[in-house]
A and B are shown apart, each in its own frame.
Chain A
Amino acid sequence: MNLFRSEEHARNWDGFEAAMERTLLPVSRWAEIFSNPFFRERGRSDYISFTRSEAGQAAFVALRSSMP
């Protein structure tokens, strides 16, 4: 899960796997994906409870569906 200066740089990286090229996205898009409540709510005093709540489960489902 790394950042690269451009798509070309990612493709030239020795760890690049063509099978996962669907994950090659602009940083702004990854920032959007990592804005899901699963990440936003980490500062709560009851975060683990949140992840098991209805809202937390819904966030996790949304997160999974947003993944490329």
Chain B
Amino acid sequence: MSAPLVELRDISIAFGGIKAVDHVTVDLYPGEVVGLLGHNGAGKSTLIKCLSGAYQADAGEIFINGEKVEIKNPRDARALNIETIYQTLALADNLDAASNLFLGRELVTAAGFVNDAAMESETRKIMGRLNPNFRKFKDPVKALSGGQRQSVAIARAVYFNAKILIMDEPTAALGPHETQMVAELIQELKAQGLGIFLIEHDIHNVMKLCDRASVMKNGRLVGTVNVDEVTDEDILGMIILGKSPEPAQSERTQ
């Protein structure tokens, strides 16, 4: 098998003596969705923030397409086509959708001024694809519903041709219709060959959306399984008891 799209190898981070992530290795292939599961505080978000550039690992290495990379900050991650949709959405509430979508990567005019009209035009285009009901282009995003805000966050990740997408509980604040919308989008992006890390609490969503699932507990990796070879109960057992099912079922892990 060719090199994975992403490999986080032997990552460790400690905060003031507490090992938030303890020698964890996970990987991700193109066109694949890998679920990251575990209790609150299991270390999923911390681990993934090493990839998105929000944190730097104390130890361990990151490989993209087999090449070792250094990700020191969110700019480095973006340069490697890694986009993140954060649990907290990471939107500036006082700015409109277009300003948020292009934040840090504004379109500018020849004279170097930000080109709001061009950015709004692009935002209308991508929103027309992702969420055709969206039309609050002039309002600050604090005036938007949870689903509308989520579509802004997703549009931001999708617009810039992400190769690697990190989604931190993308449906946590959404209603059933919007959750369905996100699920469809994940399928679509997967079909386009993106690799997606999905942090998710809802086992039902994991079974439906993910190809593999890596389970963490207390900062350690319990194991990685192919979702269609296990049951809901197997995964729940991993999350709650920290116990791997029979090793035969996880041959794709290293």
Do A and B form a real pair? no
